[in-house]
A and B are shown apart, each in its own frame.
Chain A
Amino acid sequence: MIHFQNVTKRYGEKIVLKNLNLEIRKGEFVVLIGPSGCGKTTTLKMINRLIEPDSGRIFINGEDASKQNAVELRRKIGYVIQQIGLFPNMTVEQNIAIVPKLLKYPKEEWQSIVRSLLKLVDMPYEDYAHKYPSELSGGQQQRIGVLRALAVSPPIVLMDEPFGALDPITRDSLQEEVRRIQKKLKKTIVFVTHDMGEALRMADTIVFMNEGRIVQKAAPEEMLRNPADSIISTFMGRHITSGRQSVPLYAEDFMRTKVLKVPKTSKTLECIELMSRRDVNSLIVIEDDETYFGTVTIEEIKQHGKAGRNISELVSNETITIGRKEDARTALDRLLESAANYLIVLNDDLTVAGIVTRTSTAKALGEALWGEMPA
Chain B
Amino acid sequence: MSELFVAIFQHLLIVTVAIGISSIIGIILGILSYWVRPLGTFLIWFAEMLQTIPSLALLALLMIIFGLGNITMIAGLVLYALLPIVRNTYTGLSSVPSHLREASKGMGMSRLQRLFQVEIPISIPMIFSGVKIALVNSLSIAVMGVLIGADGLGYIIYRGIQQQNFARILTGAVPVVLMAILFDYVMTKIERFLSIKC
Contact = CB atoms under 8 A, between A and B. Distances in A.
Contacts of B105: 50, 74
A85 B122 contact: no
A72 B108 contact: yes
A236 interface: no
Contact of A74 (B107, B122, B197, B198): B107
Contacts of B103: 79, 81, 85-87
B121 A81 contact: no
B104 interface: yes
Contacts of A375: none
B99 interface: yes
B39 interface: no
B106 interface: yes
A81 B102 CA distance: 9
Interface in A48-92: 48, 50, 71-76, 79, 81-90
B109 A83 contact: no
Given A81-B99, A102-B113, A87 B118 contact: yes
B100 interface: yes
Contact of A50 (B102, B110, B121, B122): B102
Nearest to A103: B108
Contacts of A76: 108
A104 to B, nearest CB: 12
B118 A79 contact: no
A74 B102 contact: no
A154 to B, nearest CB: 10
A85 B99 contact: yes
B99 A71 contact: no
A79 B198 contact: no
A200 interface: no
Q: How big is chain B's contact interface, by range?
A: 10 to 19
A72 B197 CA distance: 31
Contacts of B100: 85, 87-88
A67 to B, nearest CB: 17
Interface in B96-131: 97, 99-100, 102-110, 113, 117-118, 121-122
Contacts of B97: 83
B121 to A, nearest CB: 4
Given A81-B102, A81-B103, A89 B108 contact: no
A85 B107 CA distance: 11
B143 to A, nearest CB: 38
Contacts of B106: 48, 50, 74, 79, 81, 158
Nearest to A99: B107
A92 to B, nearest CB: 15
A87 B104 contact: yes
A21 B77 CA distance: 61
B108 A71 contact: yes
B107 A79 contact: yes
A212 B102 CA distance: 23
Contacts of A48: 106
A148 B107 CA distance: 9
Contact of B99 (A75, A83, A102): A83
A98 interface: yes
B109 A71 contact: yes
B97 to A, nearest CB: 8
A90 B198 CA distance: 9
Nearest to B111: A71
6 contacts: A74-B106, A85-B100, A87-B104, A87-B122, A88-B100, A88-B198
Given A79-B106, A87-B122, 13 more contacts: A71-B110, A76-B108, A79-B103, A81-B99, A81-B102, A84-B99, A85-B100, A88-B100, A89-B122, A98-B107, A98-B117, A102-B109, A102-B113
Interface of B: 97, 99-100, 102-110, 113, 117-118, 121-122, 197-198
Which 5 A-B pairs have CB atoms at the shortest separation, nearest pair first? A85-B103, A75-B108, A74-B108, A83-B99, A79-B106
